C-alpha cells in the first residue's frame, strides 16, 4: 500500500491544491466542518467533523436563477456555477454513504437535479477510514463499512502515524499519480475498526415498520421532540428543500434552501389544510422516511449511522433507541 506520514500530509495537500480546490475536515469557530485547505488550517484526523460535507453538494442556501420584473414583463437570467474541480479529503464512510443516498434522490426517477449534478461531477473524493468510533457512531448497524467507503475515488486508511492510500476510480488514479513521488510503498494491511460504544440491531426494521403507521409508539417517540429541526440540518442524508425568492425592487433572485419536515409550514397548504398538523405526524414522517419509505423507494436506508442527530438533539431523542422501540413493539 502507498503510505505517507501524517506529519507529511500537508505536503501532499499542497501538491493537490495546485490542481484542485482542496477541502479538508478542520476545527473552526468551536465546531468542525470541511473548509478550504490552507497551510494553517487545523485538520482533524482523529474524529469525524460535526457538520457533514453535504453543503458542498447541496448548499444550505443556493441561488438558482434571477428574474427582472418590470411592470408586466419578467425576464429570466441563469446563474452559472463556480467552475473548477474540487477535492474533498477525509470523508468518512458514513458521509460517503449519504452521497449515495443523495445520488438516488437527485439523479434518478426521471429527473436530474442539475444544480446537484454540476457540483457532484466537479468533486473528487478521498475517503478516510475510522480507527476508533465516536460515542454516537453506529454506522456498521446501518450497513456501512467504516474501513471502506462506497463511491470514493481514493480510499485512505488511518494507520496510526501514517495514512495509506488506494486509488479506487480512474479519477482517483489521477490523484495518486499527482502525489506518487511523495508516497512510499509499504506492506500495510487494511486496519481493523475499534469496538462500537453504541450498539443497535437494525436488521428487519424497514419490514417491521410496514404495519406500524398507526402504532402508539409514535405518541411516545414524539412526546419530547421540540420540532427544532436541528437533527435534519446536521443529518448528512436529509435533503428536503424550500424554494423562495429575494425581491429587491425589480430584481428577483430565486433560491433554494434547506427545509425540515419538523416544521409545520413544510406541508401547510394555501387553503389551510395541513396533512401533518402536529409533531406526532412530523416525527413519524421523519423516522418512517429514513427507515421505511426511503428503503421502499430506493432500496437503501436513509440513515448512515453518523450519530450527528443524537449529538445535537436538545432532548436526547436518539434514533437508535427509536429503532429498538420499533423492533420491540408488538
Partner 1 sequence: MCENCSCGNDHNHDHDHDQNVLIPQRGKIINIVEETSDTKTFSISTIDDKKPFDPQPGQLGMLSLGNVGEAIFSVTNKGENHIEMAIKAVGELTNALHEVEVGQEVGIRGAYGNGFPLDFCKGKDLLFIGGGIGLAPVRSLIMHCIRNRDDYGKLTVIYGARSKADLCFKEDLFENWPKVPNMDVFVTIDREEEGWDGHVGFVPSYVEELALKPQVTVVCGPPIMIKFTLPGLQKMGYADTDIITTLEMRMKCGVGKCGRCNIGSKYVCLDGPVFTLAEMKDLPQEY
Q: How far is the CB of 181 from partner 1 (least distance, A)?
A: 42
Choices 143-151, 195-203, 283-291, 318-326; region in contact with partner 1 by CB under 8 A? 283-291
Give the bridge partners for 73, in sequence order. 70
Choices 82-90, 120-128, 261-269, 307-315; region in contact with partner 1 by CB under 8 A? 261-269
Q: Which of residues 153-182 bind partner 1 (CB under 8 A)?
A: none
The Cα 151–Cα 124 span in angstroms is 10
Q: Is 280 in the site for partner 1 (CB under 8 A)?
A: no
Q: Is 299 in the site for partner 1 (CB under 8 A)?
A: no
Nearer to partner 1, 19 or 100 (CB): 100
Q: Is 72 in the site for partner 1 (CB under 8 A)?
A: yes
The Cα 229–Cα 232 span in angstroms is 5
**Phi, psi for 89 (deg, rounded to 5):** -100, 135
Total residues contacting partner 1 (rule CB under 8 A)?
53
Q: How far is the CB of 247 from partner 1 (least distance, A)?
A: 5
Q: Is 257 in the site for partner 1 (CB under 8 A)?
A: no
Q: Is 98 in the site for partner 1 (CB under 8 A)?
A: no
Binding-site member from 14, 132, 215, 267 for partner 1 (CB under 8 A): 267
Binding-site member from 36, 60, 69, 173 for partner 1 (CB under 8 A): 69
Nearer to partner 1, 69 or 135 (CB): 69
Structural Rg of the chain based on CA atoms: 21
Choices 166-174, 185-193, 197-205, 244-252; region in contact with partner 1 by CB under 8 A? 244-252
The Cα 121–Cα 310 span in angstroms is 31
Q: Which residue has the cell 413493539?
A: 329
Q: Is 81 in the site for partner 1 (CB under 8 A)?
A: no
Q: Is 245 in the site for partner 1 (CB under 8 A)?
A: yes
Binding-site member from 60, 61, 135, 244 for partner 1 (CB under 8 A): 244
CA–chain centroid gap for 183, Å, is 30
Binding-site member from 148, 293, 324, 327 for partner 1 (CB under 8 A): 293
Q: Is 269 in the site for partner 1 (CB under 8 A)?
A: yes
Binding characters for partner 1, 101-120, by CB under 8 A (x = yes): ----xx-xxxxxxxx-----
Q: Is 55 in the site for partner 1 (CB under 8 A)?
A: no
Q: How far is the CB of 241 from partner 1 (least distance, A)?
A: 5
Residue ranges in contact with partner 1 by CB under 8 A? 64-65, 67-69, 72-76, 78, 105-106, 108-115, 213, 239-245, 247, 252, 256, 259, 261, 266-273, 275-276, 281, 285, 288-289, 292-294, 296-297
Amino acid at each position: 500500500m502507498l503510505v505517507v506520514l501524517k506529519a507529511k500530509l500537508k505536503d501532499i495537500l499542497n501538491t493537490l491544491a495546485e490542481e484542485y480546490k482542496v477541502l479538508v475536515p478542520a476545527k473552526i469557530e468551536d465546531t468542525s466542518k470541511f473548509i478550504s485547505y490552507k497551510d494553517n488550517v487545523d485538520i482533524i484526523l482523529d474524529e469525524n467533523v460535526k457538520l457533514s460535507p453535504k453543503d458542498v453538494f447541496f448548499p444550505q442556501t443556493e441561488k438558482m436563477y434571477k428574474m427582472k420584473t418590470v411592470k408586466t414583463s419578467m425576464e429570466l437570467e441563469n446563474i452559472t456555477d463556480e467552475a473548477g474541480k474540487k477535492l474533498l479529503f477525509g470523508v468518512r464512510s458514513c458521509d460517503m454513504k449519504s452521497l449515495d443516498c443523495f445520488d438516488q434522490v437527485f439523479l434518478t426517477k426521471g429527473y436530474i437535479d442539475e444544480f446537484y449534478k454540476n457540483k457532484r461531477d466537479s468533486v473528487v473524493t478521498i475517503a478516510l477510514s475510522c480507527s476508533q468510533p465516536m460515542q454516537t457512531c453506529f454506522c456498521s448497524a446501518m450497513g456501512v463499512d467504516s474501513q471502506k467507503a462506497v463511491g470514493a475515488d481514493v480510499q485512505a486508511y488511518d494507520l496510526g502515524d501514517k495514512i495509506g492510500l488506494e486509488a479506487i476510480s480512474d479519477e482517483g488514479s489521477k490523484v495518486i499519480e499527482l502525489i506518487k513521488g511523495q508516497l512510499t510503498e509499504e506492506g500495510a494491511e487494511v486496519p481493523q475498526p475499534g469496538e462500537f460504544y453504541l450498539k443497535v440491531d437494525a436488521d428487519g426494521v424497514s419490514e417491521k415498520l410496514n404495519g406500524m403507521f398507526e402504532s402508539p409508539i409514535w405518541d411516545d417517540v414524539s412526546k419530547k421532540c421540540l420540532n427544532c429541526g436541528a437533527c435534519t440540518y446536521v443529518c448528512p442524508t436529509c435533503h428536503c428543500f424550500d424554494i423562495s425568492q429575494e425581491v429587491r425592487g425589480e430584481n428577483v433572485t430565486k433560491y433554494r434552501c434547506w427545509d425540515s419536515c419538523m416544521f409545520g409550514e413544510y406541508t401547510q397548504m394555501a387553503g389551510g389544510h395541513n396533512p401533518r398538523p402536529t409533531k406526532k405526524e412530523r416525527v413519524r414522517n421523519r423516522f418512517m422516511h429514513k427507515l421505511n419509505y426511503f428503503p421502499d423507494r430506493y432500496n437503501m436506508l436513509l440513515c448512515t449511522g453518523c450519530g450527528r442527530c443524537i449529538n445535537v438533539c436538545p432532548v436526547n431523542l436518539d434514533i437508535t433507541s427509536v429503532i429498538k422501540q420499533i423492533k420491540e413493539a408488538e
